[in-house]
Structure 1
């Protein structure tokens, strides 16, 4: 982390003309009339499109799922995960996945969930305690084998145990220390725990500290979407109501948390957001879009990652948006997807534009120094610090031929997927998270991933953790079509 020079400010920052969420009186009325409320959001369908899964980055905590060999700890470009092929899965394929800080969940076509990564918090949903782990021999001269082999069970995809057999899983979600599965009947199962600044917070009130197997979250029903932060969760139900639970020390739960009530944050609670159709979350900041296309933001905002400034148009270190607040610069823009990292945010519009804002110094936002907007904040030395204004990204000199269908964000690196399945990456490069090979410095602007493993794949999904990344795509079987696509981008980038 880079230390900042501005003085810290307690309290919250708000935009000019702030529009807050509904009042508590309105919240109480709506919840008491819950059974009479109309359904605003449809229940999602289970995914079925088969995907090849690619992984890359630094996997010293078993994040890559490539097995226990020490040689799999660093992968500089996307590599097919050999444990998740149709042959290894018994004839089925992976159809969806979710990436946490140091672990990944993957759903296959038989409604089974696979997990891999660090399991200290019970996030894998299976016992890995008896796994073989080989430490480096003192006589071993292999420089690539710094710490010996990885934990065999954590570094190899394995099946989560204890999930109900009936019903289809329609979404997976993962925080740094928690795993979650949403079923097509609106029920939610979770396992792992939440952590806070002081360490372990727990899983449920003060009764369960770490939940090692899936447990139904009784307080939730009719859920249609989940959004995961670093150590908090958002859930949206069919009535358009948003719930939040987990760590709320940066107001990411949309409300003030009193220390004497800290364990109440481990129960999902609504906080005044209604008529919502979509939710998203970064590590410590959150977003919601309502059915009138208004975008709300709340949580940590010291880099303008909420796309808001205070009443004077300024940003201060440690500043927060304490309650859901309308973001005028994003509202009525037909935003269809938002992805966010630790201090930056990405969005996709209905017409295929990609927007970015937030922290700049590790190039998370993908904006060239020559193209920074006037709203850019600079430090005392004149170096760009943050961009609070959503800014359209450029992928080539003439963007007329490129449309974006999805975005993904790690803690400090970012991705955009074109409508025909190529991936552009940028941001922090030391851990190989962008997937662009060995890098001497961070990647300032979106750069297309070019490698043998994925050049003939139409990538559909992408996600990232602290120092690794995962994508899923389908192979383009028509060789002529695949070559035409490749030639198109090579010509555009000349």
Structure 2
């Protein structure tokens, strides 16, 4: 006689461990950057009067072309930095920012961002830490703190994938494709109305809907007072200050005070209009202008134009018959000197820009009165100007970053 199969008591039933991820993520957890050998070297230029270059008290002047940071090199050679990140140079920070995460948290930062007075980091495990303050809002956080708990179910654990900063706000992307904003929201950059008498509420993260609650985001970006996202269908969304057309949404949806108060589609950059399988993969903004990078290496710009911020020649087709002489409210494609060398990285300062190509070229354009362009003797470049050449020369650009009045880049020695 066969025995009846044993039944498990409720306490014996198999359950999915709470820390196990079974459902595929929409956005992967962030990973450490590739370790290049030999290691690239740090170059700096622009104004270093507040120690932005991290080169010591004897190097607080102004450099109008890329200059090697020998202090960092010496510390690498002496093993002080080694394979760990002891110093983080951020895209928007006006100074070099070093952070110390308590060791007992086992927090390994692999993504960082900084605004004027706020900083954030995401670990390789998808945890978020924030410190600093949002100027104009109450409260200061002196040590890195967890500010947002994501709801998760066993086998489906939502984590943080990316974070970017405007001047005084943060945009956070999760592995599930959700977008959260927090910080100062007086210019609509949070995607929700924040009343002056209740602006402290802006420091509480809230989820943003991109047209439909079913839309999942795969990219987030920020300008000084504006915010951006790309959804899984390739549609680009923007909200926030649009006084100079910097959101790229045109002027039909702008409020009386020049704001786009909830996410609106950016004109001309969805997957269908870009053609093929190209999508926008990076969005960076300055005070009044924005750049968009596509997966096939094209760069588009919109916003304020009178200082060369958009990288468009005066005779560019986009400028013909425009309703406003000093701005473009819809993105236009930038032309680079080598059409066969696609751009792979972009960065934006207040009124200046940098772009790195696949072949290691570095371009700069915009307004740079403090030497932040890196073009010796020039304070303005209306179109992309070569700082590091693809062919010839001793160095190739790996990545570059614009600060307030200075610029930073990693160069590798050509073999």
Indicate the TM-score class for this superposition, using the shorter chain for normalisation.
0.7 to 0.9
> Partners in 1 of 2:265 and 2:103 — Cα distance?
38
1:158-215 alpha-carbon deviations (Å, 9 max, x no partner)? xx3646551432201111111211112221112211113xxxx23xxxxxx3223222
Q: Which residue of 1 aligns with 2:310?
A: 365
Counterpart for residue 98 of structure 1: 90
Is 1:66 matched up with 2:55? Answer: yes
Separation in 1, partners of 2:320, 2:93: 31
Cα drift, residue 241 of structure 1: 0.5
Cα distance change of structure 1 residues 193 and 445 upon mapping to structure 2, 3 Å threshold: same
The corresponding residue for 1:408 is 347
Aligned to 1:45: 31
- For 1:328-343, list aligned pairs within 5 A: 328-332=267-271, 333=274, 334-343=279-288
How many angstroms does 1:91 deviate by?
Answer: 6.1
What is the alpha-carbon distance in structure 1 between the residues aligned to residue 148 and residue 363 of structure 2?
A: 40
The answer as to whether partners of 1:223 and 1:235 remain within 8 angstroms in 2 is yes
8 A Cα contact 1:376 1:387, kept in partner:
no
1:1-150 residue pairs with structure 2 within 5 A? 39-49=25-35, 50-69=39-58, 71-85=59-73, 86-90=76-80, 92=82, 97-105=89-97, 115=98, 125=99
1:305 to 233, 238, 246: 246
In structure 2, the CA distance between the partners of 1:391 and 1:344, relative to structure 1 (3 Å rule), is: same
1:301-347, Cα deviation, whole Å (9 max, x unpaired): 111111122339xx898411100111241111311222211111112
The residue correspondences of 1:114-263 to structure 2 (distance < 5 A) are 115=98, 125=99, 160=100, 162=102, 166-196=106-136, 201-202=137-138, 209-219=139-149, 222-263=159-200
Structure 1 contact 46–184 (Cα < 8 Å) conserved: yes
Matches within 5 A, 1:246-395: 246-273=183-210, 274-311=215-252, 318-332=257-271, 333=274, 334-374=279-319, 377=322, 384-395=325-336
Alignment gaps of 5+ in structure 1? 1-34, 106-114, 116-124, 126-159, 203-208, 479-494
1:447 matched to 2:362? The reply is no
CA contact (8 A) 1:302 1:319 kept: yes
Deviation, 1:251, is 0.6
Q: Distance in 1 between matches of 2:252 and 2:96?
A: 40
Ranges in structure 2 where 5+ consecutive residues have no aligned partner: 1-20, 151-157
Q: How far apart are 1:461 and its partner, in Å?
A: 1.8
Deviations 1:396-423 (A, max 9, x none): 2xx4333211111001001111111110
Task: Please report the TM-score for the alignment, with normalisation by the length of structure 1.
Answer: 0.69
Distance 1:51 1:376, change over 3 A: farther
Output the CA distance in 2 between the equivalents of 1:164 and 1:377. 57
Pick from 348, 372, 377 the counterpart of residue 433 of structure 1: 372
Query: How far does the alpha carbon of each residue in 1:231-257 deviate from its partner, in whole angstroms, 9 at most, with x for none?
Result: 100100011100011110111011101
The root-mean-square deviation of aligned C-alpha atoms, in Å, is: 2.6
Aligned partners of 2:241 and 2:260 also within 8 Å: yes
- Checking the alignment, whether the CA contact within 8 Å between 1:376 and 1:388 is kept in structure 2 is no
- Alpha-carbon distance in structure 1 between the residues aligned to 2:84 and 2:412: 11
Would the alpha carbon gap of residues 355 and 94 (structure 1) be closer, same or farther in structure 2, given more than 3 Å must change?
Answer: farther
Find the aligned partners of 1:328 and 1:178 in 2 and give their Cα distance: 31
User: 1:254, 1:323 within 8 Å by CA — same for their partners in 2?
Assistant: yes
Question: Within 2, Cα distance between the matches of 1:390 and 1:297?
Answer: 12
| Aligned-residue offset at 1:51 | 3.3
CA contact (8 A) 1:219 1:267 kept: no
Contact 2:160 2:172 in 1 (8 A): yes
